[in-house]
Amino acid sequence: MGILQRLFGPKQPPAEQVHIPTALDWSSAVPDLVKLSGTTTIGKEAIAALAQRSDPDDSGYIEAVGSLQREPNNPVDPHAVAVFAQAERIGYLPGHVAKALELSPQGSRPVRLQIFTQLLEKGLRAEAWCWLGEGAPVWQWSEQNRPPLSVSAKRSAEHRERHRLVREALAEGGKRAEQFKAGSVDGLHYLQAVEPIKQLKREGRLDEALALCYVAIEGAERAARREKTSPPPFYTEQAAIVHRKLGQRDEEIAVLRRYVAACPPQHRETSLKARLEKLLG
């Protein structure tokens, strides 16, 4: 039985695979498909009004034709490009996309929009995408295959994505598989420990969280030694936080010293070293 199964019980049947896109997935400054920013802050009320008009069945899904408009007087970003649907400003293009987009301050450009909404305990959550490419939109999500909108759904999606990444890397073989094997302890790669550590902390299971932190620290150190680089600091940060919560000052100092020692000399000036120095006075 693996580490995570001992902590959380047997594995549940795998949920539908999701992929969490990042800007690094895009091969150009202006990708075909773009997730809008500001949809749950600046555009929240506009999307709520739009949903009342365009989603009478309360399906939480809207496809619409919208438009792009530059905002040269925007106090935050003079390159900002606002996205409108039915005269409602529902969000903005990401900054790096807006800056690269060929769009005059006086002109506008029609775009296809895809909007998802969900009413959560803290109110309406909305996310939207626009298609900047040629031809018919190729959406990543659909009315039947929705993106994760709640905090818990996003956590689960990110955890599944890490599992997928590790699984595919190990199956690939060769150098990449060896890299991931180096970062594994008892069958658990350190990437797979991120959300379980957070969950154990949320549940107040601090001793278990700490034990998992040290498993991940060992894996991260093994991988770092192989690549002659610094280990990811997350696991040490979490261990230090738990030690602090438990009133274990000596153990907190020890785990911070361990991280500093694991870093190549030229990379030791980190926030963790500063924290260590502060503890030592």
Tell me if 15 is assigned to some domain: no
Check residue 178 and give its pLDDT.
92
Cβ-proximal residues to 141 (8 Å cutoff; 6+ apart), any chain: 114, 116, 129, 147
**What are the strands, taking DSSP E only, across 53-149?**
61-70, 81-85, 88-92, 108-120, 123-131
Average pLDDT, stretch 9-35?
54
pTM: 0.66
Tell me if 13 is assigned to some domain: no
Least confident among 6-20, 71-85, 142-156, 232-246: 6-20
**Domain shared by 159 and 219, yes or no:** yes
Alpha helices in 37-185 (DSSP H): 44-54, 95-100, 151-172, 174-182
**Domain shared by 199 and 89, yes or no:** no
| Cα angle: 203, vertex 207, 210; to 5 degrees | 100
DSSP state for residue 273 in the 8-state scheme: H
Tell me if 16 is assigned to some domain: no
Q: Is residue 43 predicted with pLDDT exceeding 60?
A: yes
Q: Which of 122, 147, 172 is where one domain is finished?
A: 147
**What are the strands, taking DSSP E only, across 142-255?**
184-185, 188-189
Tell me the CATH number at 183: 1.25.40
Q: Which pLDDT band holds residue 13 (cuts at 50, 70, 90)?
A: very low
Tell me if 45 is assigned to some domain: yes
Q: Which of 121, 147, 173 is where one domain is finished?
A: 147
What is the spatial distance between Cα 256 and Cα 273, in angstroms, rounded to a whole number? 7
Answer whether 147's CB lies under 8 Å from 137's CB. Answer: no
3-state SS class at 229 = coil
Least confident among 15-19, 93-97, 121-125, 198-202: 15-19
What is the spatial distance between Cα 186 and Cα 210, in angstroms, rounded to a whole number? 16
Range of 186's domain?
A: 153-280
CA-wise closest residue to 243 among 233, 254, 232? 254
Return mean pLDDT, the chain. 88
**Domain shared by 166 and 71, yes or no:** no
Burial classification of residue 252, based on how many CB atoms lie within 10 Å of its CB (0-12 exposed, 13-18 middle, 19 or more buried): buried
- The number of domains in the chain is 2
Q: Which pLDDT band holds residue 92 (cuts at 50, 70, 90)?
A: very high
